[in-house]
Structure formats: C-alpha cells, structure tokens
Amino acid sequence: MKPAVTYELLHVDKNSGARRGIVHTPHGDIQTPVFMPVGTQATVKSMTPEELKEVGSQIILSNTYHLYLRPGQDIVKEAGGLHKFMKWDRPILTDSGGFQVFSLGPLRKITEEGVEFKSHLDGSKHFFSPESVMKTEEDLGADIIMAFDECVEYPASYEYTKQSMERTTRWAKRCKEAHKTENQALFGIIQGGFYEDLRAQSAKDLIELDLPGYAIGGISVGEPKEEFLKMLYYTAPLMPENKPRYLMGVGTPDYLIEAALAGIDMCDCVLPTRIARNGTAMTWNGKVVVRNATYERDFGPLDPECDCYTCRNYTRAYIRHLIKANEILGVRLLSIHNINFLTKLMEKVRIEIENDNLLKFRDEFYKKYGYTKE
C-alpha cells in the first residue's frame, strides 16, 4: 500500500547537500525546502487562513498537547478534523506533544509506559502514552503526525541521553503498532542529544521501522550555534534520501539556510509570530525593532524590498504606534510580514538550489544580514 505522504527528489545542489523536492500529501503538494508556520492552538496567532495563503504558506503545524487540553480531541473530531475545524484545506502536521510535556519539568513524571503530567491550565492530571497520543493525533486528523518522543534538555549526561534515546525508539515502535489511519503519515524523531554515536544509533533503529518520514529532534534547544551545526550536519546525511527530512523547531533565517544546505526539507518555528508580538520585523537588511523610538517619524515601509500586504500599505511609524498602544492590528501586520519574509526566503532557497548556488547565496545573505557562520 502506498504511504499517505511521499517524497519526490527533483534536484541536489552539486556544491552542497541541499535538496529541492516535493512532499506529496492528501491535502496537496509541498514544495521543499519549506518553512512551516506554527498554529499551536489550531490558529497561527492573529492570522486568518486566507492571509496565510496570500503569503504562500503551504503547510502549518498544530500542537497535540494544547489541543488535547483545549478544546479536546473529541470536539475537533466531531467538527470533522482540524482541516474543517480551522478552515484550512492545505496540509497540516501535528507534533506529538512530547516537547511540551517534557518542558513541564516538575509537573511531569516519565515512565516506560508514558508520561504523567499536570495541565499548565488548571493543574489537572493527565497521562500520555504512545498509544493515547496516536489516538489523539488520529482524531485531530492531520496529514503528518509525529511519534511520541522524549526531548532531553541541553546539556544532558551521556547516560541519561542514551536511556532517553532508547526509550524514544521503543515508543516509536509502539506508535507504529497503534497507528491505524491510512490517510496519515507517521514520522519518527531521531534523538540522541549532542552525542554522535547516539544520533547514529537512533537513526539506524528508527529507519528499520520504515516510516514514511523522519525528523531531527532535540537540537536548537539552547546550545551554541557551532554545536547545533555540528549535530545538524552529522545527522541529516543519516536520514533516508527517498523520504522527507524534517528539522524541528528552527525558524531564524540563518538556521533555515543551514538546514537546507544540510539536506533538510521541512522546518518549523513559532518565531515569526512571537517576535511580532515583541514589535520586531525580519527584513532583507536585518532585524527591525519597530517599537524603538528611532522609527517614531519613519514613514517608509517595514522593508523596501518586501511586497507583502503590510509593506504595501503601512509605515514603520504607524506600526510602531500600534505596538506602543497595544493595538492588535500591530501584531497582525508584523505577523503577516514576518511569515511572508520566511516564505519568500525559502522560495529563494529553492531557486538557488536549482541553480547549484545555495552556498554563495548563504555567504551573501550572511554578509548583508550580519550573521556569522558559527
């Protein structure tokens, strides 16, 4: 039987490991590499589905942990699944809730069976197992669903990281056995912290399960950039060439470009809408903290090189006023711009891969943006 989600490789940049491809899903094709906006609670904060389509978003994420707690998977299922519930007819990916559960710290207890945790909303007790998470994700109805894993903090000891990685593999096997929905694709998550031998073992064991896609989890969790790059460039080549490769939780422009160079197809992050709420815009000439006083009388667009709705219609001075006045429109306009920026960045990345030019593009972009390579 053909998997619900498949990967088609179109071109490999001859000067790097960057891949240009297409991920085929039940709700449409995804041109890769791609940035995926995060809609934690079945909404990308402050943006409508129509606005997401206008900026070119191809796929969005939602969060199993948050939707399980509120409104509850039964309500989403009764509504016809996430696509109908949130009026989004393009692909959706749901994470497993593992990262959120493990970030609860003292509010959770891990056993081989699963994780007992207290809700951050009201303190009520809940239990996630690989089997229960599969049921929740099936009820939510996303095209791509993630296996339940444990994401260890940075830094973590070799012994604990090894135990955690092995448990993640066992949980992935249980997820595969429990997952029954044919129009969904279950992706495994490679763990192993910042130990190369553990990453290699995790990748080997998970690939043996022959899942339709794989992710790298547990990096971009607060480590130095050089550590991130070392583990990214080590792990990505271990992943199957004929399946989607997903790097979890990455959304700064430099990390997105590095991910593409390493051969990653998909990335996600809450960053563009989160920094919008802080009054910050990403532009082709670096960050603009529009809430700063320097923009009080700046009647130019956020980014002269951008053609998004925000930049076509509004000035830095006006957006600064909205942010300082805590007006919702300010956050909306910055969110539209930031997601548009990352979407257009990835469009450029795809073109540069086709032209075997991504390394040169990275160096030029870093110079303009003020990034370093480490």
pLDDT recorded at residue 374: 62
pLDDT, tens only, 288-338:
999 999 999 999 999 999 999 999 999 999 999 999 999 999 999 999 999
Residue 93 in tokens: 């990916």
Q: Regarding beta strands 28-32 and 19-25, do their DSSP bridges make them parallel or antiparallel, or are they unpaired?
A: antiparallel
The yes-or-no answer on residue 268 being catalytic is yes
Q: Place 103 in a pLDDT band, splitting at 50, 70 and 90.
A: confident
Q: Is the peptide bond before 33 cis (omega within 30 degrees of 0)?
A: yes
Exposure string over 183-220, b if 16+ CB within 10 A, otherwise e: ebbbbbbbbbbbbeebbebbbebbbeeebbbbbbbbbb
The answer, as to whether pTM is greater than 0.85, is yes
Q: Regarding beta strands 185-190 and 213-216, do their DSSP bridges make them parallel or antiparallel, or are they unpaired?
A: parallel
* H or E segment and range at residue 348: helix 328-354
Q: Which of 13, 95, 254, 303 is catalytic?
A: 95
* Local structure of 289: helix, strand or coil: strand
Question: With 80 as the cut, is the pLDDT of residue 102 above it?
Answer: no
Q: Regarding beta strands 144-146 and 92-95, do their DSSP bridges make them parallel or antiparallel, or are they unpaired?
A: parallel
Helix axes 196-207, 158-178, angle to 10 degrees: 10
DSSP 298: -
Q: Which of 143, 205, 254, 268 is catalytic?
A: 268
Q: Which residues have a Cβ under 8 Å from the Cβ of 227 and sit 6 or more positions away?
A: 194, 219
pLDDT, tens only, 122-135:
999 999 999 999 99
Query: For residue 145, with 0-12 CB atoms within 10 Å meaning exposed, 13-18 middle and 19 or more buried, which class applies?
Result: buried
Give CA–CA dist 28/17, Å, rounded.
Answer: 26
Distances (CA, A) of 47 to 38, 66, 149, 305: 11, 18, 30, 22
Give CA–CA dist 261/268, Å, rounded.
Answer: 16
pLDDT recorded at residue 107: 83
CB 18 within 8 A of CB 232: no
* H or E segment and range at residue 254: helix 253-261
Query: For residue 8, with 0-12 CB atoms within 10 Å meaning exposed, 13-18 middle and 19 or more buried, which class applies?
Result: exposed
The yes-or-no answer on residue 95 being catalytic is yes
